[in-house]
A = this chain, B = another copy of it.
Amino acid sequence: MRFLTSGESHGPALMGILEGLPAGLPISLDYLNAHLRRRQKGHGRGRRMQIETDEVQITAGVRHGHTLGSPIGLLMPNRDWKNWEETMAAGPIEGPVKRVVTVPRPGHADLVGGIKYGHEDLRNVLERASARETAMRVALGTVARRLLEEVGIVIASRVVSIGAISDPTPMDLPVANLNQRVDDSPVRCLGSEAEAEMVAAIDAAKEVGDTLGGIVEIYADGLPIGLGTYSQWDRKLEAAIGEAFLSMNAFKGIELGLGFESARVPGSLAHDELSPGPDPIHSPRRVNYLSNRGGGIVAGMSTGQPLVLRAAMKPIATLMQPLKSVHSLSGEAVEAHIERSDTCAVPAAAVIGESLLALVLAEFVLEKFGGDSLAELLPRVALWRELNPF
């Protein structure tokens, strides 16, 4: 399984191609668009999220509601394209280029990207470096999620902190029930007290032209034992998760299970002890874990427990109270460019994180079980679960 995306933020369309999925997987536009809408929510989003409802088109790989086994093509036209047609035209234009950007925003790709690719107009950089691209990754990840559902894996997420406000509420719901609890929270937060404080913190940040980041927690449940391997460095499940999450715009850290905390406690409190399972004689390897400090992953493999990870998102780099910058043509000290933007996008980042995880897990499921059609794949997974229950 692999995928590529293309598309500038204000270009005509985002495109995505995902290949390697089995044939026969039921999937609908409504399902894709529903998850895209989840990405557009959250207190603190800017105007674009309100005026535009992202909708994806399926251009390939699906027929009459089921995948064909061929590459899945997704197209997401830019609803605002009519206002950008000249600015972002692929062909030559007459007259001067509009909306040229010459002041890089600290924390954004602008300065370095302009140097790297030799662009004077930093719009040539920021259009692709924009988190707009993640809309397509959510769409592709939603296709992967559909596959995971069929094999019994669910994915969900919540926000555990925004700026200085943390939500101490423990996650004691089944993973399958989490999203319906937090999807309607303006900050995707389990605790109602923290929710109110987070909303207030966002409003306060907006008031002064500042922005906020936060920490998201992503879960997956129902993983079969033994996805991934310790055999080679880049085939470890953690490695793929690390790659996926640090490929996400504005993410600066990721941890699994206890994560950084596991570096602080002694070994006796860091690992997941075992006790005999329900039928020790006939299924001696079906054990009980006495904890899930590892976050459902050990040595490159899924343990069968819920997968738990946290990722840290830095605040959005476009501030309405602009940061100090330098004009890239004159070299003079100026205030950073302001491009339409959000105050806080952490709730959206959680949904994006779900999609990133879905893409990783689908790849590892297909690696272990193979199969060209759902009819071939599902019995293999079922048999594996039966022989190696959890």
Partner of A300, one of B109, B239, B265: B109
Cα distance A237–B106 when bound, in Å? 18
Cα distance A211–B380 when bound, in Å? 40
Is A200 an interface residue when CB atoms closer than 8 A count as contact?
no
Give every chain B residue within 8 A of A105 (Cβ-Cβ).
Answer: 271
Q: Tell me the smallest distance from the CB of A69 to a CB of chain B, in Å.
A: 4
The verdict on A5 contacting B230 (CB below 8 Å), with A247-B242, A258-B314, A273-B325 known, is no
> In chain A between 251 and 297, which residues have their CB closer than 8 angstroms to a CB of chain B?
251-260, 262-268, 270-277, 279-281, 283-285, 287, 290, 294-295
The verdict on A260 contacting B260 (CB below 8 Å), with A111-B285, A114-B285, A117-B372 known, is yes
Give every chain B residue within 8 A of A11 (Cβ-Cβ).
Answer: 59-60
Is A205 an interface residue when CB atoms closer than 8 A count as contact?
yes
Q: Tell me the smallest distance from the CB of A36 to a CB of chain B, in Å.
A: 16
The verdict on A231 contacting B69 (CB below 8 Å), with A61-B6, A63-B124, A317-B271 known, is yes
Which of A116, A251, A376 has the most chain B CB atoms closer than 10 A to its own CB? A116
Q: Tell me the smallest distance from the CB of A107 to a CB of chain B, in Å.
A: 3
Interface residues as binary, A54-74 with B (CB distance below 8 Å gives 1, 0 otherwise): 000111111111001111110
Interface residues as binary, A67-87 with B (CB distance below 8 Å gives 1, 0 otherwise): 011111101000000000000
Which of A229, A267, A332 has the most chain B CB atoms closer than 10 A to its own CB? A267
Give every chain B residue within 8 A of A303 (Cβ-Cβ).
Answer: 111-112
Give every chain B residue within 8 A of A178 (Cβ-Cβ).
Answer: none
Q: Is the CB of B24 within 8 A of A4?
A: no
The verdict on A72 contacting B376 (CB below 8 Å), with A163-B264, A240-B243 known, is no
Stretch at the interface among A91-99, A145-153, A182-190, A191-199: A91-99
Give every chain B residue within 8 A of A226 (Cβ-Cβ).
Answer: 112-113, 115-116, 372
Q: Is the CB of B321 within 8 A of A268?
A: yes
Cα distance A164–B171 when bound, in Å? 26
Q: Is the CB of B6 within 8 A of A229?
A: no
Q: Tell me the smallest distance from the CB of A325 to a CB of chain B, in Å.
A: 5
Q: Tell me the smallest distance from the CB of A116 to a CB of chain B, in Å.
A: 3
Is A169 an interface residue when CB atoms closer than 8 A count as contact?
no
Q: Is the CB of A246 within 8 A of B253?
A: no
Interface residues as binary, A291-320 with B (CB distance below 8 Å gives 1, 0 otherwise): 000110011111110000000111111010
Q: Tell me the smallest distance from the CB of A241 to a CB of chain B, in Å.
A: 6
Give every chain B residue within 8 A of A214 (Cβ-Cβ).
Answer: 263
Is A155 an interface residue when CB atoms closer than 8 A count as contact?
no
> In chain A between 342 and 390, which residues have their CB closer than 8 angstroms to a CB of chain B?
366-373, 375-376, 380, 384, 388
Q: Tell me the smallest distance from the CB of A71 to a CB of chain B, in Å.
A: 4
User: Could you write out 19 A-B pairs with CB less than 8 Å apart?
Assistant: A12-B59, A15-B73, A23-B118, A23-B119, A64-B89, A71-B232, A111-B303, A115-B285, A116-B373, A128-B231, A205-B266, A212-B266, A213-B263, A262-B314, A277-B326, A284-B326, A284-B327, A285-B328, A368-B372
Known: A63-B127, A213-B264. 12 other contacts (CB 8 A): A6-B60, A6-B71, A7-B73, A8-B61, A129-B300, A210-B266, A229-B372, A239-B244, A252-B258, A267-B317, A273-B325, A277-B331
